[in-house]
């Protein structure tokens, strides 16, 4: 289990997800790839907001910094860690990355908030579970 992809959205469950991924990486001498996906902003008609992609990447300095900081924290545990920032549709971008990298595992949160969401996973989690070519470990996200 060498390549572990960890999609994160900086929600309250991020710490739990990264902690579980770190345990897996340590147990199997794996490499963690922290992935944050930002969906480009569309106007209500579904058209792009007109900004070139290069300029849009500059619109996310806080997320980029958070991602770098989180990667440094995991590296501090002697785990090889890479931070990847992608603009795109979250589920599709994560699945595409997992396929290109020939990932061994995806560790992600459920973002559950009660019985109904326990029965119906979030759209991103559900899409990844259905279409991933590698195992997916779901970490229950709980509010602290």
Which domains, from first to last, does the chain contain?
3-139 (3.40.50.620)
| Sheet with 136-139: strands ordered across | 81-87, 31-38, 3-7, 105-109, 136-139
Do 25 and 4 touch, CB atoms closer than 8 A?
yes
Region 83-103: what's the mean pLDDT? 94
Mean predicted confidence (pLDDT) in 95-102: 96
- Identify the DSSP state of 114: S
Identify the pLDDT of residue 41.
67
For residue 71, pLDDT over 80 is answered with yes
0.95 exceeded by the pTM? no
Q: What is the pLDDT of residue 52?
A: 44
Tokens, residue 5 = 């992809």
The average pLDDT across 62-78 equals 93
Residue 56 has pLDDT above 90, yes or no: no
pLDDT > 50? residue 53: no
């Amino acid at each position: 289990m060498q390549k572990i992809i960890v999609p994160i959205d900086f929600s309250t469950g991020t710490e739990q997800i990264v902690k579980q991924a770190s345990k897996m990486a340590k147990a199997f001498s794996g490499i963690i790839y922290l992935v944050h996906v930002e969906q480009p902003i569309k106007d209500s008609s579904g058209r792009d907001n007109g900004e070139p992609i290069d300029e849009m990447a500059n619109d996310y300095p806080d997320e980029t910094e958070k991602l770098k900081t989180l990667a440094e924290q995991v590296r501090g545990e002697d785990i090889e860690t890479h931070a990847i920032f992608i603009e795109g549709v979250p589920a599709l971008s994560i699945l595409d990355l997992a396929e290109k990298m020939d990932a061994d595992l995806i560790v992600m949160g459920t973002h559950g908030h009660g019985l109904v969401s326990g029965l119906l996973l979030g759209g991103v989690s559900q899409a990844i579970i259905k279409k991933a070519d590698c195992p997916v470990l779901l970490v229950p996200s709980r509010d602290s």
